[in-house]
Amino acid sequence: TGTASIVGPLGFDANFGQGGTYIKGDAGFVYLSAFDNGAFQSQWRRVDILTGASSVIDLFNGGSDQVAWTSAKGEILGVSENALEGFAYYPNPTNGALSLKSVNNIDSVAIFNLLGQSVLSSKIGATTTDLDISGLTTGTYIMKVTVEGQTGTYKVLKN
């Protein structure tokens, strides 16, 4: 487990890492292995952690375990706040029952899989409720909760 750091564009088209990422001895740089989609080859790269500029050190062949990471061009998108004040849900992770509690009436709840498909939705109209998600497969879901017209999104882990 680690903490993500955004350093800027890496200067090549990669969507997954091969063999992982790790910090080597010299300060200010991270070394990573990646498959460059543009060049269609596996590369060993040196990345400046302040600017994101990268350079190819070596080319290599062969398979290895995967450690997920991503490199994306363009603006960094996000929201500064996606939580509702006075709202709580538990337990997380859950085996099936997910309890919701709010200081104000919960209007509705929708749960989506990571493909963005709605897998459960319900009108609530109360400050507390229990959702039965036992029918969902094990995995990660996104829960969208609306309380008095305000919406919050939350990650739900189903065991």
User: What one-character-per-residue DSSP string does 34-91 give?
Assistant: EEETTTTEEEEEEEETTT--EEEEEE------EE------S-----S----TTEEEE-
Claim to verify: residue 152 and residue 92 sit in the same structural domain: yes
> Average pLDDT over the chain, rounded to whole?
77
Q: What are phi and psi for residue 38, nearest 5 degrees?
A: -65, -45
Total domains in the fold of the chain: 2
pLDDT digits (tens, 9 = 90+) for 50-81: 777 777 777 766 554 444 455 545 554 455 55
The answer to whether 83 touches 152, Cβ cutoff 8 Å, is: yes
What is the per-residue burial (b if ≥16 Cβ within 10 Å, else e) of 91-115? eeebeeebebebeeebbebbbbeee
Binning pLDDT at 50, 70 and 90, where does residue 7 land?
low
Residue 112 belongs to a domain: yes
Structural domain of 122: 87-158
Claim to verify: residue 25 and residue 53 sit in the same structural domain: yes
Claim to verify: residue 94 and residue 150 sit in the same structural domain: yes
Claim to verify: residue 62 and residue 92 sit in the same structural domain: no
Q: What is the pLDDT of residue 67?
A: 45
pTM: 0.52
Residue 20 belongs to a domain: yes
